[in-house]
Amino acid sequence: MTQLKRLDISNNAIREIPRNIGELRSLVSLNAHNNQISYLPPSFLCLNDLQQLNLSGNNLTVLPNGIHNLFSLKEINFDDNPLLRPPMEICKGKQLYTIAHYLQRADQRDEKILEKIFNIVANNITETSFKFLCQKLNLVISETDISSKSTVSLSERVRQALDRWKTDSNNLSLTTDALRDQLTQALTMIGAYEIMDKITALKLFTCAIKF
C-alpha cells in the first residue's frame, strides 16, 4: 500500500513493526500507541514524508541514531516508554532536534569509549590471548600480519586488527554498543580477566560523567 498516508494501529498487542515498513513512502501519520513495540527497524528511517508519529505506551528502550533523517516530523510522542537512550526526560519536550542532538553526542561518546577499550586491549593482551581473540571475533590473520610480526609490536598489530574488525562490522551496520558487547564477550570467553577489570573500571568512570 505505497499510497497509504495515515495508519492507526494503536491499542493492540503488536510486538514489532514490520521490517519493510520503509516501503510505505507516502506515510504521513503513524499512530501506534499502547502496543508492545520494543524496536524500530532500520527501514523506519526511510519514512521521509512522516509528519506525525505517536509511539507512546510501548516498550522502546532505544531510539535509532538516524532519527534526524525523518526531517518532515512535526509531532512526536514517545511518552510512557522505558527509554534509556535517550532517557525519557530528553523526549518529554517532544522536540526532534533535542532528541537527535542527544543521540549524536551519545554516539560520539560511545565512539571515544570504544577507542579507549581498543587501547586497553592492545596494551595489555598477550600473544596467545590475541590469537584466541581473533578466533572468537572471526578475525583472519593475514600473511602480511604474520610477516610483520618481527618488525611491528604486538600492541600495534592488535590495534590494526581491531580497527579492521570495526570497519568490517560497520559494513554490517552494527552499532557501537553491539561492537563493545561483542568484544567484551569475546574477552570474557578467552579468560582475559585482567583486561576485563580495566574495561569495567573505565565503564564505571564514564558512567559517573554526565554529558
Q: 5-62, pLDDT tens digit by residue?
A: 999 999 999 999 999 999 999 999 999 999 999 999 989 999 999 999 999 999 999 8
CA distances from 62 to 22, 99, 180, 196 (A): 19, 11, 16, 25
User: Three-state SS for 170?
Assistant: helix
Instruction: State residue 172's pLDDT score.
Output: 63
Each residue of 138-190: pLDDT tens digit?
A: 887 765 555 556 678 999 999 999 999 988 877 666 778 888 889 999 999 99
User: What residues are paired with 29 via a beta bridge?
Assistant: 6, 52
Instruction: State residue 211's pLDDT score.
Output: 45
pLDDT: is 27 or 85 the higher one?
27
Q: How far apart are CA 91 and CA 118, in angstroms?
A: 32
Instruction: State residue 146's pLDDT score.
Output: 54
Instruction: State residue 203's pLDDT score.
Output: 79
CB 94 within 8 A of CB 52: no
